[in-house]
Structure 1
Amino acid sequence: MKMDIASINALPYEDFVNIFGNVVEKCPIVTAAVWSRRPFGNLAALEAAINDFIDALPESGKEGILRCHPDLAGRDLQSGTLTQESREEQAGAGMDALNSAEASRMARLNEEYKERFGFPFVICARMNDKSNILRQLSERCRNEREAERARGIAEVKKICRLRLQGLVLTDAPNKL
């Protein structure tokens, strides 16, 4: 059930972290840190607080956020250990329905990517389909580390925005 911003601002710390702790995959510390920035004026202000926190992290912290993400169509999907959000997002992009050739290409590219960059490939699955994800993964393996870290964090922010939109009521337009 979606909450309005006033209800979100009134949440005790533990409830806030429990509800929003996975808007950045497996990084409840991000939402724990922004809880103290309440009250948020609206959904955009909550999202901005999260993005500001991420942007202020050192590069190692940003890579840490990227390392919390599972491989797309990887062993967490196969073994059923993905977070509910990731499972739904990957299924929506067709990652749970790869044929054997696609699955083997995805596994090989995921491994190549992690060896090159030291963190998993991150893309907003809800904004892509399996063919685009495979193409992006192949292309992004050629990027420089700094560019790819920045691209991964931009994708984390897209994922976060969509997850927040699933939890927070959009603000009612002002009545004139």
Structure 2
Amino acid sequence: MSDRAGVAAVNQLTAEEFVLTFSRVVESYPAAAAQLCQLRPFRSTQHIVDSLAGFLESLAPADQEEVLRLHTDLAGSPADGDEGRLTAESAREQRAAGLLSLSARDRQELTQLNHRYKMKFGFPFVICARENKVATILEGLKTRLGNTRRDELEAGIAEVKKISALRIRELTQSTQDNL
């Protein structure tokens, strides 16, 4: 199965099918899928990834902040107001990173750091969980707390692009598999 076959299948989706299929590429932000749909046809999976990255970069800072605010806290809980907000994709990604089976100590530290981060920046800490484990996530959170708001907005959007790229690659593959 080639990249070309998967992309051809994506290009053949109706607009409705495309938006439904890609609606969770950017966490709880289906407008990204609608915009991406308008950019077809794609030449490769990387072309889809690059097109989405360009869309995210073109958003006004307030819209980029909204994209970040749509994410839940890492290892969030109902007490954090995250009940029912964790998408299946995020749950799978956080589980793979070990975030859904934290020790009591790590959970307490992550909760405290998440709170400090949101108080400082106004949006949740976003990191590509699939590329990290608990220790690196905690270290990254501590380090990024020292950033400026502008730097952190850029860092958060860069992480959204990583998450989205992984999800796009999976969707391109699975779209071909389902045809």
TM-score w.r.t. length of structure 2: 0.89
Partner SS state of residue 72, structure 1: coil
Tell me which of 65, 71, 74 is aligned to 2:73: 71
For 2:145, give the aligned amino acid: C
Tell me which of 85, 90, 93 is aligned to 2:89: 85
Q: What's the CA shift for 1:154? A: 0.5
Taking the TM superposition and a 5 Å limit, the aligned residue runs for 1:108-119 are 108-119=112-123
Q: What's the CA shift for 1:169? A: 3.2
Which residue of structure 1 aligns with residue 42 of structure 2? 40
Residue 29 in structure 1 maps to residue 25 in structure 2 = no
Partner SS state of residue 143, structure 2: helix
Does the Cα contact within 8 Å between 2:72 and 2:85 map onto a contact in 1? no
Alpha-carbon displacement from aligned partner over 1:55-79 (angstroms, at most 9, x marks no partner): 1111111111111111001116984
Which residue of structure 2 aligns with residue 140 of structure 1? 144
Identity %: 40
Which residue of structure 2 aligns with residue 53 of structure 1? 55
For 1:31, give the aligned amino acid: A
Aligned residues: CA RMSD:
1.9
Aligned partners of 2:170 and 2:92: how far apart in 1?
12
Alpha-carbon displacement from aligned partner over 1:110-147 (angstroms, at most 9, x marks no partner): 01000000000000000000011011111111110000
Partner SS state of residue 173, structure 2: coil
Aligned residues: 169
Structure 1: state its 5+ residue gaps. 171-176
Moved over 2 A (4+): 76-81
For 2:128, give the aligned amino acid: C
TM-score w.r.t. length of structure 1: 0.91
Aligned partners of 1:150 and 1:130: how far apart in 2?
22
Which residue of structure 2 aligns with residue 173 of structure 1? none
Partner SS state of residue 16, structure 2: helix
| Pair 62,40 (structure 1): closer, same or farther in 2 beyond 3 Å | same
Alpha-carbon displacement from aligned partner over 1:63-111 (angstroms, at most 9, x marks no partner): 1111111100111698464111000000000001111111111111001
Aligned partners of 2:151 and 2:30: how far apart in 1?
25
Partner SS state of residue 126, structure 2: coil
Partner SS state of residue 38, structure 2: helix
